[in-house]
């Protein structure tokens, strides 16, 4: 059963930082472009950032310059470093493949207070 386990969320003040982690089973991770997504209350899930197996990255305009996605291919783990957090970043954050989603994990809650 493919698995995704997100962690690292929490409550932080505006301007603060958090680092999210996502551990994926090898069948999901190896050779695939991985992405971070988020879903705010009452809104649809949206794409946040992606990273190819070779390390090329892309970001949604709303987080460009503040968030950094990275991956450790030896640990089947993808990270999201979030700096200069804003209240509008409050959401449940998920990871998954960029293409060909597998079952979603439980996500990790990020709450940014103003």
- pLDDT of 45-87, one tens digit each? 999 999 999 999 999 999 999 999 999 999 999 999 999 999 9
CB 105, CB 3: distance < 8 Å = yes
Smallest Cα–Cα separation from 90: which of 33, 48, 50, 30? 48
Q: What is the pLDDT of residue 42?
A: 94
The predicted structure's pLDDT at residue 94: 98
Question: Do you know the residue count of the chain?
Answer: 114
Angle, vertex CA 30, rays to CA 60 and CA 94, nearest 5: 40
Cα–Cα distance measured from residue 54 to residue 95, given in angstroms and rounded to the nearest whole number: 18
């Amino acid at each position: 059963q493919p698995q995704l386990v997100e962690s690292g969320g929490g409550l932080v003040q505006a301007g603060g930082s958090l680092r999210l982690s996502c551990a994926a089973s090898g069948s999901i991770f190896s050779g695939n472009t991985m992405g971070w997504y988020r879903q705010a209350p009452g809104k649809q899930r949206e794409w946040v950032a992606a990273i190819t197996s070779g390390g090329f990255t892309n970001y949604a305009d709303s987080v460009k310059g503040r968030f950094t996605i990275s991956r450790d291919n030896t640990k089947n783990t993808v990270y999201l470093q979030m700096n200069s957090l804003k209240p509008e970043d409050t959401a449940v954050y998920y990871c998954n493949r960029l293409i060909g989603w597998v079952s979603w994990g439980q996500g990790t809650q990020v709450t940014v207070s103003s």
